[in-house]
Amino acid sequence: MNPVDTLTDTSSAHTPDDVAQLVAAGRNREAIDSLLRQGEHEADPALERALVDLLLQTAPRPGAAGDIPQREAHRPPLVFREGAIPEVPADAFSVPLLREALDRSGHLIVRGFFKPEDVLPLRTCIDASLRSRVEAETNGSLDEDNPWYYPSPHFPGNHHAFHMLHPGRKHKLTGSIRVIDSPRGTRSVLQLYRSYAIKQLLEEYFEESAVLATRKWVFRLATPRRLGTGIGGGWHQDGQFMGADVRALNIWAPLSQCGHGTPAPGITLLPRRIDRLLESGTRGANLDWVVGGELVAELSREARVVNPFFDVGDALFFDHFSLHRSGYIRGQNADRYALESWFYAGSAVEENATVELP
């Protein structure tokens, strides 16, 4: 049975009658809302899969500017120091401040954006989702009662990341997995977004509706062993995968202490504003999407690369022109968990796979 069909089965004790009626009437958005309002004790694998299917089958509405509420916040002056990423505590964060930081330095760190107790449970989501994907690959079949891994047939294109498309490559218990491929992870993260009014933040930032980039909505578990014994991942701009013209914003949320002064790899950044896609695949690059080391060295003469410290609950904001890579420091020996959430303005996303932000 298609998971969406379970919503129209009113004999299920876990399916409210109003949700069944909404799906039957084609009112998917209201059905999604009802599913997201269910408590943790009501979790049901079939309904969580149905949530994923409904998200993927509900076309985002065209972006439109409207009466966007402004988030209130204290507004102290934003301090910019040469060679550093600007930082602000959560109680001083505002969208105008975010715009100023990205315009001037390309990044903003918000300390304590999330409460640690609200995001630490996502580490369980990551471990369980990665493990379930490996088990499904090993067994050659999916467990319909498992809420952690479900490659929906409604996802556009291949579920595997491009580096997994080579014959013989197998997934491991580390690395990354798209949030949309984890039904319980999807529900948990969307409920987190609601708790922190992320939709309202994004609508104010874009001045229109916002959508989730499903291919770039990712759980990550990085280990020093996976990153290697040297320089970490390749320097890149996410605009290489999205296109230069898209209006995009990333909220990168570490779920472990990581970066400078910690045993876990963080993220290495060039602390300056870049407003274009850089040349890639040349000048020492080993892949076509990687910005070569020679060019990075030239750019870093004006702004030396940084590997900031992050605590659980911090958030790093940047757009698709940011030049960055995984931040491995020799001698680190701990895992780093993170949630990477890319969003687009709703009016210009025709070339990218997206779902509406409920």
The full 3-state SS of 243-284, as one line of letters, equals: CCCCCEEEEEEECCCECCCCCCCEEEECCCCCCCCCCCCCCC
Residue 1: partners with Cβ closer than 8 Å, 6 or more residues away: none
Fill in the DSSP letter of residue 121.
H
Q: Cβ(225)–Cβ(306) under 8 Å?
A: no
- Mean pLDDT over residues 35-48, rounded? 80
Q: Which residues contact 26 (CB under 8 A, 6 or more apart)?
A: none
**Least confident residue range of 129-143, 213-227, 300-314:** 213-227
CATH number where 330 lies: 2.60.120.620
Q: Among residues 185, 201, 186, which one has the least CA distance to residue 90?
A: 201
Q: Is residue 44 part of a domain?
A: no
The reply to whether 257 falls in a domain is yes
Decide the pairing of beta strands 87-89 and 107-111: parallel
Helix, strand, coil % (nearest 5) of the chain? Answer: 35, 15, 50
How much is the average pLDDT of 166-171?
A: 66
Contact 250, 110 (CB under 8 A): no
pLDDT confidence band for 38 (50 / 70 / 90): confident
In this structure, the strands spanning 87-89 and 336-345 are unpaired
User: Within a domain: residue 62?
Assistant: no
Q: What's the predicted TM-score (pTM) here?
A: 0.89
256 is a domain residue: yes
- CA angle centred on 308, ends 296 and 173, rounded to 5°: 90
The three-class DSSP label of residue 216 is strand
Least confident of 16-20, 77-81, 219-223, 273-277: 16-20
Residue 350's pLDDT band (boundaries 50, 70, 90)?
low
pLDDT tens track for 82-99: 778 999 999 999 999 999
**203: domain range?**
75-356
Query: What pLDDT score was predicted for residue 70?
Result: 58
Phi and psi angles of residue 329, each rounded to the nearest 5 degrees, phi first = -115, 130
Residue 344 to residue 358: CA distance in whole angstroms = 14
Least confident piece of the model among 43-47, 101-105, 183-187, 255-259: 43-47
Q: Residue 248 falls within a domain, yes or no?
A: yes
Q: How many domains in the chain?
A: 1
Q: How distant, in Å, are the alpha carbons of 14, 110, 150, 225, 341 from that of 52? A: 17, 30, 9, 32, 16
* Residues 105-110, mean pLDDT to the nearest whole number: 96
Q: Which of 74, 14, 78 is nearest to 42 (CA)?
A: 14
Residue 312 lies in a domain: yes
2: in domain: no
163 domain-assigned? yes
Q: What is the DSSP letter of 325?
A: E
Q: What whole-number distance in Å separates Cα of residue 252 and Cα of residue 56? A: 23
**Matching residue, tokens 């995984």:** 326
Is the pLDDT reported for residue 134 higher than 60? yes
Q: For the CA atoms of the chain, what is the radius of gyration?
A: 20
Contact (CB, 8 A) for 235 and 197? no
**Contact predicate 213/178, CB 8 Å:** no
Residue 25: C-alpha distances to residues 15, 156, 187 (Å): 16, 24, 23
Distance CA 122, CA 51 (A): 18
Tell how far CA 286 is from the center of its chain. Answer: 25
